[in-house]
Structure 1
């Protein structure tokens, strides 16, 4: 390749379709670098279509320090390059942050949203019931999102009440619609114990400890009957949506000892089938310098998030520097592959709050996300 005139290089002499095919195989960090080579390369890269499913979502980690914004940090893991990127921490309307499907959401004092990679906050019309840390899902191929539950906020103070409203926002109309509330079975539980997944136009709510599960239909605006989803030996679990299927990931205890398992869950019947068990070496690698080796409490800082073809499992304890691993659930051959993630790039601070989620990205999210719309 010519360093002085890259547009005259052999690579640029390739057919445009061939060039696009080659570039589409590269991870986003490489595409960002290559986009600076020439105007032609940037034009080709920015016009690349989004990757087809199954996708390889990035893992995002936003660490929030309650008393000093200087200590806030944000990171993103790209599974294709198998590397962490340190991101500039976005200027936040508040410390109450949620993430989903290429967007960040600030839930207080006013609900706002922004693209992840190029923060540009857009406030919405007033929420009917302001809530801190609600469950949130973005409707696929739509301009709408759903908020479920959370903790009430009055005058900047947290108000723990038993109301668990469901609110749907239409970004095209900038309007909120109030829907039937979360079923009574969930309302006596702390909002921190709830997990959610959006799958095939149903928004599922799962209680991490009681294992209650119910779904809200985006077509009929009704809740299903509350069921119990508890595989044998389950201690706690988190619900995810991967490749249009529900996947439950959680800690188990059996005669063989502790294990972290993944199950595929059938919608409607809630029948489950085991799809993967984390290798023991990886599991205990997430518990760096952990004492009380016989105490099940040591696993309580583990959490999992997933979408596309990947499920990430990580430790939320800052004393352990947030180690993580990932499982590729292998839709083509039915096999699953586990691997550990590299350490976060140093220095890593200790945070009061850790916001983690996965999201599929394309190169357009890097170059054009300022004008992105929810669900676009």
Structure 2
């Protein structure tokens, strides 16, 4: 569309500051589409301040063990209620892929990281203790690696407890700190959940409900506690905002039966207060059937919960169900209510994967505009 198109002439006549204010309210996928309207709009959109979206996106990276051709990646924008199909990160082995806070990481053949929408891999200096599937977080200009497993002759060594490893991206150097407390039955990523909150890195065991936190200032671990609301089967820890911990987990109680609940967690005391329960129709829509079909919780074991900011996503990792999902917008202040809604299906075709990497992250227009992401629509 040209600059003289009558449909855009009135909008083009607006003051540039007014135009920027209007465009800044739009979802990012809409901005990507509108950037093709005219040269003026493209110029304004590309010059918008790169402030992150207030509503974190959900990212899914599906990995096929034997054929990289079947790898796929997607991102869900909650403001436009739509998915984007992303190009799968090229060049590096995908089996050891991790994601956190606008970055992708791979632990093999060397530890490296890249912005998730603009692949530009940067290798770090050698990791003192190479890990498979560690917990990972980004803070300031540093990375923290906790747990994971090592290998001996290509075999996983589950008894190997490595130190916490902190990487300074400015100095390209690693610092070793005390390892994850031995009370945790496993250091494997699959059985642990983590959250970064108030300069502390929390580690929660999904099954045993053990929890401990690592201070980013003193480099020490807190005492191990047990965080288990009544009837809890398994749960995942998330940070919502900069100062709030939220536990999302599957319960089975005599009065409610099976339910997926969210609790707000008080730091230090680890006391919990219930803030939301997923509507039954959404819960059984994630796994199929109704609550009378089975009397055990095994069919819920493929559910996973990830969250950031004011959003918590719950989805089914079973590829045969094409990853149905729902999202809860958490109102933690002034008695705000929590609002659940379903997420549209992934855009077809969707392959079957052996591993699914999932995480939440804020996104800016700069991240998307200069990537190869394709808007799919609601």
TM-score (norm 2): 0.92
Change (3 A) 1:129 1:369: farther
- Within the alignment, does 1:298 sit opposite 2:296 as a pair? no
Give CA-to-partner distance per residue, 1:206-232, whole Å, 9 cap, x none: 001111100001111111111111111
Greater CA deviation, 89-98 or 64-73?
Answer: 89-98
Moved more, 146-155 or 257-266: 146-155
Q: Which runs of 5+ in 1 are unaligned?
A: 371-376
Alpha-carbon distance in structure 1 between the residues aligned to 2:333 and 2:17:
26
Out of 132, 141, 144, the position equivalent to 2:142 is 144
Please show how residues 80-159 of structure 1 align to structure 2 within 5 Å. Answer: 80-94=79-93, 95-139=95-139, 142-154=140-152, 156-159=154-157
Given the superposition, is the C-alpha separation of residues 203 and 189 from structure 1 closer, same or farther in structure 2, using an over 3 Å criterion?
closer
Determine helix, strand or coil for the equivalent of 1:131.
coil
1:367 Cα shift?
4.1
* Aligned residues between the structures: 367
- SS of the equivalent of 2:347 reads coil
SS of the equivalent of 2:21 reads helix
Which residue of 1 is the match for residue 264 of structure 2? 264
Aligned 8 A contact 1:302 1:313 in 2: yes
Other-structure match for 1:182: 180
Question: What is the aligned partner in structure 2 of residue 77 from structure 1?
Answer: 76
CA contact (8 A) 1:197 1:239 kept: yes
CA–CA separation in structure 2 for the residues paired with 1:66 and 1:362: 32
Deviations 1:133-176 (A, max 9, x none): 1000100xx11010001011356543333313210011111111
SS at match of 1:132: coil
| 1:217 corresponds to | 215
Tell me if the contact between 2:64 and 2:71 (Cα under 8 Å) persists in the aligned partners: yes
Tell me the distance in 1 between the aligned counterparts of 2:138 and 2:276. 27
Partner of 2:233: 235
Higher mean displacement: 192-201 or 328-337: 328-337
Distance 1:120 1:208, change over 3 A: same
Structure 2 unaligned blocks of 5 or more: 373-378
The match for 1:251 is 250
C-alpha spacing 1:164/1:211, structure 2 compared with 1 (3 Å): farther
CA contact (8 A) 1:287 1:315 kept: yes
Moved more, 178-187 or 188-197: 188-197
Equivalent pair of 2:52/2:365 in contact (CA under 8 Å): no
Shift of 1:348: 0.9
Superimposed CA distance per residue, residues 314-337 of structure 1 (whole angstroms, 9 cap, x where no aligned partner):
000111111000000024551110
SS state of the match for residue 287, structure 2? coil
